[in-house]
Amino acid sequence: MASSEVRELYTVPEAAKELGRPHMTLYRWIDADKLIAIRLGGILFVPKSEIERLNKINEQTAEA
């Protein structure tokens, strides 16, 4: 993938790495409807917007 390419979907392990969380935590959040995921061809993907949403929450929590 070219470095200038913008990604809109991440696999759960990729999203977990971006968020600094274990991938099993993300699977639990998906099962509990706390995290939106899209299944394509049997693989779960997390939209970039969800990663940004969780990063924003983490930043707000860190500031408090």
Measured in whole angstroms, the distance separating CA 10 from the mean position of its chain's CA atoms is: 7
Name the domain count of the chain: 1
Q: Is residue 1 part of a domain?
A: no
Q: Hey, what's the torsion of the CAs at 34, 37, 39, 44, to 10 degrees? A: -100
Q: Is residue 28 part of a domain?
A: yes
Q: Is residue 22 part of a domain?
A: yes
Provide the residue range defining the domain that includes 21: 9-63
Q: Is residue 24 part of a domain?
A: yes
pTM of the model: 0.82
Q: What is the pLDDT at residue 2?
A: 52
DSSP-assigned letter for residue 36:
-
Residue-wise pLDDT tens for the chain (64 aa)? 455 566 899 999 999 999 999 999 999 999 999 999 999 999 999 999 999 999 999 888 888 7
